[in-house]
């Protein structure tokens, strides 16, 4: 599956019903699995539900649009095959990251790190340890609009080249690292979708 094909399918903003039974069931299962495996890391139930809903909205919408299926394995933090990839379509594995409405950089941390305004960037230690299990990283965002999420995808990143464009952030109070989107696009390792 090529980046240009993925881009052609995922362009635009897609609406997903927040109250859909499929999404609700997936969120309940995801939160249960996170807590059962001791991976809540101090997050409240409300935070887990909100993060799971936004993340699963991105995963489910992309999976449906590309004709794939979500990772069917029951989450077990000791088995990377159960969490190292989010969905598969035509033999291609994807990891989906919710990065918010960003324009130029994909910011993240390599350890738990709070910014001065109490926002937490995605922590990617586990992801980087298992990056070889993924073909593409799909970065997107969700915007709630009543009973719907507007789901939009920003970038498709070739997972095998992710580390090449990973940089240490020099901002005070921001993320610890970022993925340099302009450089990655210039050499074809990343494609902008929207």
Q: In whole angstroms, how large is the CA radius of gyration of the chain?
A: 16
What are the structure tokens assigned to 108, written together? 């993240």
Q: What is the pLDDT of residue 3?
A: 92
Looking at per-residue confidence, does 92 or 56 come out higher?
Answer: 92
For residues 66 and 61, what is the distance between their CA atoms, to the nearest angstrom?
A: 9
Helix ranges (DSSP H) in the chain? 3-10, 21-36, 45-65, 125-129, 181-186
Q: What is the pLDDT of residue 114?
A: 47
What pLDDT, in 10s, does the model give residues 135-180? 999 999 888 888 888 888 999 999 999 989 988 777 655 677 788 8
Q: What is the pLDDT of residue 120?
A: 52
Average pLDDT of the chain is 83
For the question of whether the overall pTM of this predicted structure is more than 0.75, the answer is: yes
What pLDDT, in 10s, does the model give residues 111-142? 654 444 445 545 566 777 888 999 999 999 88
Give the rounded distance of the alpha carbon of 64 from its chain centre.
Answer: 16
Is 17 within 8 Å of 23 (Cβ atoms)? yes
DSSP bridge pairs for 156: 138, 191
What share of the chain has pLDDT > 90, as a percent?
33
> Reduced to 3 states, what is the DSSP secondary structure of residue 166?
strand
Lowest mean pLDDT among 9-23, 60-74, 85-99: 9-23
What pLDDT, in 10s, does the model give residues 25-70? 888 888 888 888 777 777 888 888 888 888 889 999 999 999 999 9
For residues 48 and 45, what is the distance between their CA atoms, to the nearest angstrom?
A: 5
For residues 87 and 58, what is the distance between their CA atoms, to the nearest angstrom?
A: 11
**Overall average pLDDT of the 73-85 stretch:** 85
């Amino acid at each position: 599956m090529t980046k240009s094909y993925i881009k052609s399918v995922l362009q635009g903003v897609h609406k997903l019903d927040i109250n859909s039974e499929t999404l609700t069931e997936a969120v309940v299962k995801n939160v249960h699995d996170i807590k059962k495996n001791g991976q809540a890391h101090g997050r409240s139930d409300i935070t887990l539900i909100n993060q799971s809903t936004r993340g699963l909205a991105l995963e489910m919408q992309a999976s449906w649009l590309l004709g794939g299926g979500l990772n069917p394995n029951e989450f077990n933090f000791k088995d990377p095959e159960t969490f190292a990839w989010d969905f598969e379509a035509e033999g291609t594995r994807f990891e989906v990251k919710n990065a918010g409405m960003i324009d130029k950089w994909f910011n993240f941390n390599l350890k738990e790190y709070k910014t001065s305004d109490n926002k937490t960037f995605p922590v990617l230690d586990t992801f980087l340890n298992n990056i070889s299990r993924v073909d593409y990283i799909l970065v997107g965002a969700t915007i709630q609009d009543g009973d719907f999420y507007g789901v939009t995808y920003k970038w498709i990143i070739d997972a095998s080249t992710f580390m090449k464009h990973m940089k240490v952030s020099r901002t005070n109070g921001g993320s610890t690292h970022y993925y340099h989107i302009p450089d990655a696009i210039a050499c074809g390792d990343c494609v902008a979708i929207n």
